[in-house]
């Protein structure tokens, strides 16, 4: 049961981090580039910190990597919609 709760927390945290970071970067660059940059930055930071976990590094990397990969399609869909909305203006 705790694994399910931890997995839901990781998914929610990853989504929050990615969407907030992409929204902040969108002020500096186009939506699709902001989304991919946010994903890259988040994966790099979380990947580096989880690899410091010692013997549990691979489990920690999977714990944060899988939710990031699950959120990525939603992030890209949101960026595409923002791009289309900006083109219509």
- Listed by start position, the domains of the chain span 2-88
Sign of the torsion angle spanned by Cα atoms 30, 31, 35, 38: positive
- What is the pLDDT, as a whole number, of residue 77? 93
| Residues 17-34: tens digit of each pLDDT | 889 999 999 889 999 999
Residue numbers in the chain where pLDDT is lower than 70: none
- What is the pLDDT, as a whole number, of residue 34? 93
């Amino acid at each position: 049961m705790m694994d399910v709760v931890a997995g839901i927390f990781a998914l929610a945290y990853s989504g929050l981090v990615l969407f907030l970071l992409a929204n902040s970067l969108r002020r500096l660059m186009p939506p699709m580039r902001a989304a991919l940059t946010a994903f890259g930055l988040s994966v790099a930071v979380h990947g580096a910190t989880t690899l410091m976990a010692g013997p549990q590094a691979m489990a920690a990397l999977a714990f944060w990597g899988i939710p990031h990969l699950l959120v990525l399609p939603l992030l890209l869909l949101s960026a595409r919609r923002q791009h289309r909305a900006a083109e219509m203006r």
